Structure 1
Amino acid sequence: MNEVTGRERSQAFEADAVHYAASRPSYPPALLDFVAECLGRSLAGARVADVGAGTGIATALLRERGAEVIAVEPGAAMAAELRRALPEVPLVRGDGNALPLADASCDLVTYAQSWQWTDTARSVPEARRVVRPGGALAVWWNTTAFDVPWLAAQHERIARHCGTVPRSAARPDDATAVRLAGLAGLRVARRLLPWGRTVALDTHLSNIGSRSALLVLEPAARRAFLAAERARLDAEFPGGAVEERYVVDVLVARER
């Protein structure tokens, strides 16, 4: 299989923005509790830039905590979904490599599922430029709960179908995670937060179908995988309710 570029993956997300908004999971309350703990203050009243905001999943949670959020999103379709869901949120088009924000203008800069789309040689200095003294940047992802057998097996099936190597079930230690995230040189706290949700089978299939590895496949190949997965999960969850499990991997970085 030909290697898929980051641009092709981002374009695939744009084309599937509606399904992304409808099916992607949110995050547990413990996530923002941890971010606030690291920040050393309540999120209420904090000036926050949510970078790579997508359809606004994390943006909405930050607003619920009372944060003054500005969403930064490069994609037109994703931005349109965010505007529809959160019309009162200020939204600017841009990305983490060149933030369209003033120096020292934010208490917190967040990247929910979006840090991997940045070039850390550019995005780290940009975040440090925008964050006020005493502020922080936080990056997090919903990751596979490898200790759940059916999810681990599904993860391997997706990788095989897409012609990629399955990610190891072993998570990097804290020092390795900081290095891989490009945050070396900052004071970084990390936490792994298990959580889950129960959704209809159609929602689960839409969720996994919105992952970039499947989105970039030819439509017929994508449909074939999802049809086979429906048959498997019909047997696994005969009531039609799928118990998804995740581990949020969150890193909060501050100046030393």
Structure 2
Amino acid sequence: MSELIQKEWDYTKHAQFYSYRPNYAGDAIDVLVAWSKGAKRVADIGAGTGNLGIMLAARGLDVIEIEPNDAMREIGQERLKNAKWIKANGVQTTLSDKSVDWVTFGSSFNVLDRELALKEAYRILKDGGKLSAMWNHRDLNDPIQNVAQEIIKDFIPSYHGGARREDQRPIFESSELFGDIFYIEQDFIFTQSLENYILAWKSVKNNFWDLNTEAGKKLFESICEKWRSKLPQTLNIRYTTRAWNVTKK
């Protein structure tokens, strides 16, 4: 990750709000652990505060957490003490060649130069090793989430979810390093108070508002005021865990 990319995706001010996000669907993670065919050592790239790593460690994997942001890593180390935490990024992990069985990107593949990230993953994976890139997506067809999204677009007509909502298949199909694409998705309901829903949005880093600036704070608060007037006090939010998974050639 270049210095420019690290600055653009600096999550220092957002780290404390990651606990308000839902974690990945448990059954989906179980399927992927089975698909990994006995993987033991996993490098979790862009580990953040350890959401995915906690799920993998709970299933018996030896987890290496790769996270460049100090604030994220500090929280993550408290949450997942039995993992090895490394200050590094997804294109320079510092890991040895062919040293891990599985590489995971939990909501992080989109913030990297994906071509370089695939090359680095290929380098550190053992022969036949596995790679997974996954995200949680709010179901925008759900009436409540549709209202929430339309409120954002009232203020920001060009708003979109960016690369994290794109089909990742073309990225892997164009790579000569990985094959055997295996895609899964699982829906789940996450119940959350409206105020916690707003706090979860404070964990979001995007190009449309910057909470480090007065203008960004003002814009976000305007959106929040509209949410408070239009959304219920308790939200049953439909999410989908989506994961694209490939095997090293």
User: What TM-score do the two structures reach when normalised by structure 1?
Assistant: 0.84
- Are 1:144 and 1:152, in contact at CA under 8 Å, matched by a contact in 2? no
Identify the match of residue 100 of structure 2 among 100, 106, 119.
Answer: 106
Correspondence for 2:185: 192
Aligned-pair identity in percent equals 23
Please say which of residues 71-80 and 201-210 is displaced more in the overlay.
Answer: 201-210
Correspondence for 1:143: 137
- Are 2:91 and 2:116, in contact at CA under 8 Å, matched by a contact in 1? yes
Correspondence for 2:158: 164
Query: C-alpha distance in 2, partners of 1:149/1:54?
Result: 30
Are positions 1:97 and 2:91 aligned together? yes
Following superposition, the deviation at residue 6 of structure 1 comes to 5.0
2:96 counterpart SS class: coil
Identify the match of residue 196 of structure 2 among 178, 192, 203.
Answer: 203
Query: C-alpha distance in 2, partners of 1:158/1:210?
Result: 16
Correspondence for 2:235: 242
AA of the residue aligned to 1:39: S
AA of the residue aligned to 1:65: R
Identify the match of residue 229 of structure 2 among 228, 231, 251.
Answer: 231
1:188 counterpart SS class: strand
Quickly say closer, same or farther: Cα 1:183–1:216, change in 2 above 3 A: farther
Quickly say closer, same or farther: Cα 1:9–1:142, change in 2 above 3 A: farther
Please say which of residues 68-77 and 176-185 is displaced more in the overlay.
Answer: 176-185
Unpaired segments ≥5 residues, structure 2? none
Identify the match of residue 155 of structure 1 among 132, 136, 149.
Answer: 149
Query: C-alpha distance in 1, partners of 2:160/2:34?
Result: 34
May I ask how many residue pairs the two structures share in their alignment? 237
Following superposition, the deviation at residue 91 of structure 1 comes to 0.3
Identify the match of residue 125 of structure 1 among 113, 119, 130.
Answer: 119
| Alignment deviations for residues 1-29 of structure 1 (CA, whole Å, 9 cap, x no partner) | xxxx8555422x22121112x21110111
1:47-126 to 2 correspondences below 5 Å: 47-126=41-120
Query: C-alpha distance in 2, partners of 1:109/1:183?
Result: 19
- Are 1:8 and 1:216, in contact at CA under 8 Å, matched by a contact in 2? no
Query: C-alpha distance in 1, partners of 2:111/2:161?
Result: 18
| RMSD of Structure 2 on Structure 1 (CA) | 2.3
Following superposition, the deviation at residue 86 of structure 1 comes to 1.8
